[in-house]
Amino acid sequence: MRDGLMQRFRGLDPGGQMLVNFREKVLDHGELPMSWVLQTIARINKQIRLSLPNAYVVPFYLISSVGKRGRKCYGVRLEGEEDDDA
């Protein structure tokens, strides 16, 4: 995940200032802190909820987790997938 973010920064910010800020303010010993990831997911999901007027479709766009503590994966659920946590 980190390598993909770094590539995006290089493409969006040829001067490198965004990447410098990201490294200084977010990365912890070169890794993404889980607290930052969860906060970012929460902000994205909030914007999705505010942007979609039809509550029925909202769950299809939200970032959700699958798995047990310590082994969770995050992503967007696709139609036909079952909820393992239910």
- Which tens digit of pLDDT belongs to each residue from 25-82? 788 777 888 888 899 999 999 999 999 888 888 888 899 988 888 888 888 877 765 5
Task: Note the helical H segments in 13-68.
Answer: 17-25, 34-51
Cβ neighbours for 39, distance < 8 A, ≥ 6 positions apart: none
* Residue 12, C-beta contacts closer than 8 angstroms, at least 6 positions apart: 18
Average confidence (pLDDT) over 17-26 = 80
